[in-house]
Structure 1
């Protein structure tokens, strides 16, 4: 198959994250507004062009006060940095249907190379005859490397918010005409 343009199906996709809270529990959240530009042969992603954009104001942890704090200058500063982006620069096949996708991740004004594991889930036709493809993406980042450094010391030692952010995406895209 040759490289094909794929339109992200956001109704059947998700961008999720988790972070340690108080050193012993996880808080999970999502970003509800995102988009991607994908040009790929899903059977061989090594030549793919992938760009991903997330609306930082769409952060959702199911807690309005926490979400407002995450949107503030302490974290995403959505007024000045409304988007975070990822652009793939290198894709390596690691196993059958498994890839390491390395690219430039930009959060706030900081751009750093990051690698995510991508698993090709397969292709198929939906009930209306549209060709669809699915991918799962896993990885983690160190939030302080991107200027997300707000924290509070705990009386018992340690900090309120962990530095490692686990990232998980489930993506479905439709073949573009």
Structure 2
């Protein structure tokens, strides 16, 4: 197995959630670590993937909202500082992949499956080979203990229970 590192300047972990039943809020996590080990990244089925995301690093470009998301109403970052993911199975689906693993948020672990697209490989300016991937899934935030909400007088709620998670990765071989 070869260990690959994430180029954080060309990678992201983002989320999208419906707000007030009429628009969407997008955000991302600024700080995370990822480890990908694989025999061959052109065949992702040989890989093991894990993430540790600093929940405090949430950023929706609105400090009041970010402070609320860090509170006990949502991520409770004082008690649960990390969001974790560890792969359990990767299968090929045509030219793409399904990456299944255990996602842990607020101490609750549930299986999730990401649809993964392999974007290919290229040589970087430093001569190293880089690999690109995009992955997406949707979770029900309430299943992970993120249950805060408020009813709207027009019907509906402030925050949708469905959250789309999108990951874009650029990986390079880790030097010894």
Instruction: Provide TM-score, normalisation by structure 1.
Output: 0.96
- 8 Å Cα contact 1:36/1:53 also seen in 2: yes
Q: Matches of 2:174 and 2:63 in 1, distance apart?
A: 37
1:166 aligns with one of 146, 159, 164: 164
Q: Matches of 2:65 and 2:48 in 1, distance apart?
A: 35
Secondary structure at the aligned position of 2:143 is classed as helix
**Alignment of 1:45 onto 2:9:** no
- 8 Å Cα contact 1:42/1:120 also seen in 2: no
Q: Matches of 1:125 and 1:80 in 2, distance apart?
A: 42
> 1:124 matched to which residue of 2?
122
For residues 96-132 of structure 1, the C-alpha deviation after alignment (integer angstroms, 9 at most, x for no partner) is 1x10000000001100000001111111111111121
Q: Matches of 1:165 and 1:74 in 2, distance apart?
A: 16
1:20 aligns with one of 1, 13, 18: 18
Count of matched residue pairs: 174
**Alignment of 1:75 onto 2:78:** no
Structure 1 outlier segments of 4+, above 2 Å: none
Q: Matches of 1:44 and 1:56 in 2, distance apart?
A: 31
* Structure 1: gaps (5+ residues): none
For residues 8-42 of structure 1, the C-alpha deviation after alignment (integer angstroms, 9 at most, x for no partner) is 11111011111010111111111111111101211
Q: Matches of 2:9 and 2:125 in 1, distance apart?
A: 16
Q: Matches of 1:81 and 1:10 in 2, distance apart?
A: 23
Q: Matches of 2:52 and 2:132 in 1, distance apart?
A: 18
Alignment of 1:81-96 (within 5 A): 81-96=80-95
Alignment of 1:26-65 (within 5 A): 26-40=24-38, 41-65=40-64
Q: Matches of 1:29 and 1:176 in 2, distance apart?
A: 29
Secondary structure at the aligned position of 1:65 is classed as helix
* Structure 2: gaps (5+ residues): none
2:8 aligns with one of 7, 10, 33: 10
Does 40-49 or 98-107 show the bigger shift? 40-49
For residues 31-70 of structure 1, the C-alpha deviation after alignment (integer angstroms, 9 at most, x for no partner) is 1111111012111111211101111000000000000000
